[in-house]
Structure 1
Amino acid sequence: MDEPTLPEIPAGRMAATRKRARDIAPPPEHSSTSSDPAVFSSDDDPALDNYQGHTRRKRRYVGAWFDQHPASSDSAFEDDSSPRFLQPRRVRGPHAQQPGQKREFKRHLDSGVWMGTDGSLTDSDDVFELEPATAKLPLPPPQLPPLIPLPPARPRLTPGELEVQSMIRQCVENGTERVDLSGLDLETISDGLLDPISDIEPIPNVAKDVEFEKRDPRLQVFLFNNRLRSFPASLFNAEHLTVLSLRANQLTTIPPAIGKLKNLEALNVAQNYLNYLPGELLHLLHKGKLRSFNFQPNRFWKPDTASFPPTMPGAPEKYELLTFGNPSAADRQPGWMGLTTKLRFRSPVQFSDGARNTYSAFKLPPVSRHPQEPAREGDDNVEVELEPFTQVAMPKEVTRELSSARLPTSLMAAPRGARSLFELALRACATSAQADRIAGWLREDAAEFPWPAHLAPAVERAVETHREGGLWCSVCGRETLLPLAQWLEFRHVRLQYVMEGVESDVAELGQEPVPFLRVGCSWKCVPAKVEAEGEEKEEGKEEE
């Protein structure tokens, strides 16, 4: 049985459809009408049955689909092993091939492979170039996309910081809750370097016949005997921090965000250059778990008790009740022992605006200098003016009518009123990705744009406050970047215990009272005035 194949196209019909006749000559051996002869086998026809295992052999064919011929003489179709070959069309003109000239690669109509030159633009045999058409309308010049400023490069870690990074990594891997970074001569700690401390998880003690119990970590961080000039803000994210030692450094302030460390039991900030302590630390002393607090020696401001009149009995307690309300006291069971404070004196209030212009006669002393800065007169013995609890010295502008054009209404805003546009703008700058560069841009463009002189310092202070964890009003508790009222409270830190429901003082930590800084978000968030005994009696007579 003959194997079915494709029908052969008659030569006469093909010649009739062509525009001109072509000379047919015998092709060379093993050639085809295509540059790459197509090779087929009998298995390529899906209509054939699978004859695997029979004795018949596969048959191979060469040629185009319309001119297939067996490649060997074993085919029953035809014994001719050389397929017919049509001589390619003769090219006339300058591109005609001369006798003896080597054949170049050209495109053939029966081939799907284009082997022309790189400069060919059309599909025809003749190669010619097209000139680009001229535009009818003038084209606008190309506009480049605006340049996007790159984020600031991350500073490289110092050798000391690389050692800190390695030690923290080991503590995280081993579950070590004690992180000792003391004596490494550290001057600064990059942002985020201490963040992995929050990931430390203690390895539970698994023993036979002992119930497994997972507990919270009790982190202890020791950074004493270094040269740190700023408090490492990354520690505020360590929720389970119980012990923190920053003794023997060069700190001048402690950020208010230290109040976030609710589980702190021991704090050591002795041998630094502190002038005051943040008021947020009082929450840890009164209602927190703080049991050990070392803060001496430091450069604390001292109260000027020489010109201070005698304090009315019970005035400090009334002042705290009227100003801060009745805070819920800690649950002190019999046998409890912890740290508390007792108010002794208060300074006048410093009233200012967003540009740091002071409206009151009282001003806070300048913050202590670092050891590298030149010495200033009176840095070691600074005495602060005091004010009786029965008085509150307000600026003269406050006593006038509120409709005065010289007094901005935003300064007298309610404690929970709308924020000023200036504070909203500072908050946007502080939370921006380019926060570190905005103040520099304001100073660089000062020659071209007359920015206000207080704008760049205000942005720097807002960025620093945001980086340190934020600032909250001591009276209403609202977060703010512009403290418009500030005053000092001098308190004695004392150790107290409770025995059978009676509170008793064990000892006072330090002979002199320590200043705590309080802030207000507006001119209404200020200390309350305690009425004197004589004033209360006179009011009682008037009512009768």
Structure 2
Amino acid sequence: MATGKRTPKSGKSKKFSLKMALSCFQLTPLKTQRLNLSCKDFDSVPKCIEELSSFQELDLSRNRIREIPTFTAIFFSITVLDLHSNQLEELPASLGRLQNLLVLNVCNNRLRSLPGELGQLRNLQTLNLALNQLDALPASIVGLKELRYVGLSDNRFTHFPGCLRRLKKLEKVNMAGNPILIHQNPEVAPGSFLLVQKSLLCENCLERCQSFRRKMEKEEAEEVESCFL
């Protein structure tokens, strides 16, 4: 049987047409338009979607995308961007132009750092960064004044990011699965580190949290000070 060189297959994202993209529109329960491109085996973001602008939610989750192209910054109207479970190693600075974004999900990728422009997302309420390789947040995160939830679980944080303390509307921070404070506080279980707004806690739980917080603040004084500079 004769053998020869195989012709490399072109990525599915390159074969993805505008007509195919139009068939992926969905109407959400809130009556907004979602472009659902999840589970398409894309290795890049299809360029054809650049011609679309009538959607408020973009779902590119569960693909093999390694890079977010700059043209995605033209989607000024989107409020939800879901990129979880891809192979992203960095986020573009142009992401900061998405001023209407309310939800950004980039969990389960390969991120080691975040661009400072992330702090320009003034209306962002939910930020999911879980299951990456992060050990710090950019100081610009203090610009996210509307942020309610931050998912930081299963990363490489050894301390609570002090800059999050300046976000007055922040209600919950999930840091489960990080090596946080274990060497200073061996009684703290690494798999159950969850911070919530005090108004959501009962009196007994609040007393316990405040006691632990005083201990944590003492150990993190240097980090908090540097984040405020």
The equivalent residue for 2:107 is: 270
- Assess, with a 3 A threshold, how the Cα gap between structure 1 residues 165 and 158 changes in structure 2: closer, same or farther: farther
Cα offset, 1:161, TM superposition: 3.7
Letter in 2 for 1:167: M
From 154, 177, 188, the equivalent of 2:33 is 177
The equivalent residue for 1:301 is: 135
- Assess, with a 3 A threshold, how the Cα gap between structure 1 residues 250 and 158 changes in structure 2: closer, same or farther: closer
Cα offset, 1:273, TM superposition: 0.4
Cα distance in 2 for partners of 1:510, 1:177 equals 32
TM-score for the superposition, normalised by structure 2: 0.55
- Assess, with a 3 A threshold, how the Cα gap between structure 1 residues 185 and 491 changes in structure 2: closer, same or farther: farther
Matches within 5 A, 1:180-329: 180-189=36-45, 192-198=47-53, 200=54, 219-284=56-121, 288-301=122-135
**Partner secondary structure for residue 48 of structure 2:** coil
Cα distance in 2 for partners of 1:260, 1:171 equals 25
Cα distance in 1 for partners of 2:99, 2:119 equals 12
- Assess, with a 3 A threshold, how the Cα gap between structure 1 residues 340 and 196 changes in structure 2: closer, same or farther: same
Cα offset, 1:510, TM superposition: 2.3
Q: Is the 8 A contact 1:224 1:246 kept in 2?
A: yes
Q: Is the 8 A contact 2:86 2:109 kept in 1?
A: yes
Query: Cα deviations across residues 250-272 of structure 1 (Å, max 9, x unaligned)?
Result: 00000111100000011100000
More helix, by proportion: 2
- Assess, with a 3 A threshold, how the Cα gap between structure 1 residues 233 and 194 changes in structure 2: closer, same or farther: farther
**Partner secondary structure for residue 194 of structure 1:** helix
Letter in 1 for 2:173: E
- Assess, with a 3 A threshold, how the Cα gap between structure 1 residues 508 and 182 changes in structure 2: closer, same or farther: same
The equivalent residue for 2:203 is: none
Q: Is the 8 A contact 2:61 2:82 kept in 1?
A: yes
Cα distance in 1 for partners of 2:136, 2:75 equals 33
TM-score for the superposition, normalised by structure 1: 0.25
The equivalent residue for 2:147 is: 338
Structure 1, gaps ≥5 residues long: 1-155, 201-217, 304-319, 331-336, 342-379, 384-489, 497-502, 514-528, 531-544
- Assess, with a 3 A threshold, how the Cα gap between structure 1 residues 506 and 171 changes in structure 2: closer, same or farther: closer
Q: Is the 8 A contact 1:339 1:494 kept in 2?
A: no
Letter in 1 for 2:135: W
- Assess, with a 3 A threshold, how the Cα gap between structure 1 residues 245 and 493 changes in structure 2: closer, same or farther: farther
- Percent same amino acid among aligned pairs? 26
Aligned-residue CA RMSD in angstroms?
A: 4.1
Structure 2, gaps ≥5 residues long: 1-8, 180-224
Letter in 2 for 1:338: L
Cα distance in 2 for partners of 1:165, 1:194 equals 7
Cα distance in 1 for partners of 2:166, 2:143 equals 19
Query: Cα deviations across residues 400-443 of structure 1 (Å, max 9, x unaligned)?
Result: xxxxxxxxxxxxxxxxxxxxxxxxxxxxxxxxxxxxxxxxxxxx
Cα distance in 2 for partners of 1:279, 1:256 equals 7
**Partner secondary structure for residue 280 of structure 1:** helix
Cα distance in 2 for partners of 1:229, 1:299 equals 15
Query: Cα deviations across residues 332-355 of structure 1 (Å, max 9, x unaligned)?
Result: xxxxx63489xxxxxxxxxxxxxx
The equivalent residue for 2:15 is: 162
Cα distance in 1 for partners of 2:58, 2:71 equals 12
Cα distance in 2 for partners of 1:219, 1:197 equals 11
Q: Is the 8 A contact 1:339 1:493 kept in 2?
A: no
Cα distance in 1 for partners of 2:74, 2:21 equals 15
From 507, 512, 520, the equivalent of 2:172 is 507
